[in-house]
Amino acid sequence: MQQESTHTRETTLPKLLLGDDHKIILDALGAMMRSEFDVLAVDNSQAFINAVDEFQPDVAILDVGMPGGDGFLTARKVLERRPALPIVFLSMYSDSAYVDQAAQVGAKAYLSKQLTANELLSAVHAVLEGSTLLAPSSGGLRPGAGGKNDLTARQREVLRLIAVGCSAKDIANQLNISVRTAEFHRAAIMQRLGLHSTAQMTRYAIANNIS
């Protein structure tokens, strides 16, 4: 199955390619993403590879399990053709081995299907702006008892700026990212470290020599 792009060729929205083997997931993802992206959805590995050539997406979201070849193999083949394409894995599996494998094939992010729509949108925008969301043992950005080594380099930068009193707007200006991306990183840090306030984040940064 290959669904039509949700916008015309003349759109100025970034192009997003979705790959998942469940139509209901594709429909749901397409519905939540089409306000900010020109979306094309496919449900198998070969269609995904073909769409990379034909649709020329700016970013791609891919499931780990895909008919005709698993998602990691599919990503590897795609990146051989377009090494600069940001690939985001979206999966129900949270084992750190999957995160490591995603990193090995060259993906930019490994996210959980438990994310909210806003979290997913913000994460994809963060990847488009150059962020990498592949913290080791992160469980796909769902919280656990994490440490500073489980944060990405960009998340450590954001945490350092939070600790010195920077607002989301200040962080966005200093790191040349959008305010929305800065807010996403803040939320991801809090989830990863199990923190609930700016004061807690500041104390954590000082205690771990991040400030």
The CA distance from 45 to 42, in Å, is 8
pLDDT of residue 149: 55
Nearest to 188 by CA among 211, 162, 208, 169: 162
Is 7 domain-assigned? no
Task: Report the CATH number that the domain containing residue 116 is assigned in CATH.
Answer: 3.40.50.2300
- Please list, residue by residue across 43-61, b when 16 or more beta carbons sit within 10 angstroms of its beta carbon and e when fewer do: bbbebbbebbeebebbbbb
Is 3 domain-assigned? no
Is 121 domain-assigned? yes
More confident residue, 150 or 207: 207
- 115 and 152 share one domain: no
- 97 and 21 share one domain: yes
Q: What is the Cβ-side half-sphere exposure of residue 142, based on CA atoms within 13 angstroms? A: 16
- 88 and 182 share one domain: no
Is 189 domain-assigned? yes
Mean pLDDT confidence for 6-14: 64
Mean pLDDT confidence for 25-52: 93
Is 191 domain-assigned? yes
pLDDT of residue 138: 40
Mean pLDDT confidence for 163-189: 88
Radius of gyration of the chain (CA): 17
- 103 and 198 share one domain: no
E strand or H helix that includes residue 15: strand 15-19
Parent domain of 101: 15-128
Q: Is residue 144 pLDDT above 70, yes or no? A: no
pLDDT of residue 1: 58
Q: Residue 89: beta bridge partners?
A: 62, 110
Total domains, the chain: 2
- 27 and 63 share one domain: yes
Spatial CB neighbours of 201, under 8 Å, sequence gap ≥ 6: 159, 162, 163, 186, 189, 190, 193, 195
The mean pLDDT value of the chain amounts to 84
Q: What is the SS3 assignment for 187?
A: helix
pLDDT of residue 135: 59
Where does a domain end: 66, 97, 128?
128
Mean pLDDT confidence for 47-56: 95
Residue type, 89: F
Token reading at 181: 């991306």
Is 200 domain-assigned? yes
- 119 and 62 share one domain: yes
- 61 and 32 share one domain: yes
- 36 and 122 share one domain: yes
Is 137 domain-assigned? no
pLDDT of residue 8: 45
Per residue in 75-121, pLDDT tens?
999 999 999 999 999 988 877 788 888 989 999 999 988 888 888 88
pLDDT of residue 107: 95
DSSP 82: -
Is 83 domain-assigned? yes
Where does a domain end: 128, 157, 191?
128
- 153 and 87 share one domain: no
The CA distance from 124 to 17, in Å, is 12
- 115 and 198 share one domain: no
Nearest to 149 by CA among 131, 135, 163: 135
Token reading at 206: 């000082």
Q: Is residue 137 pLDDT above 60, yes or no? A: no
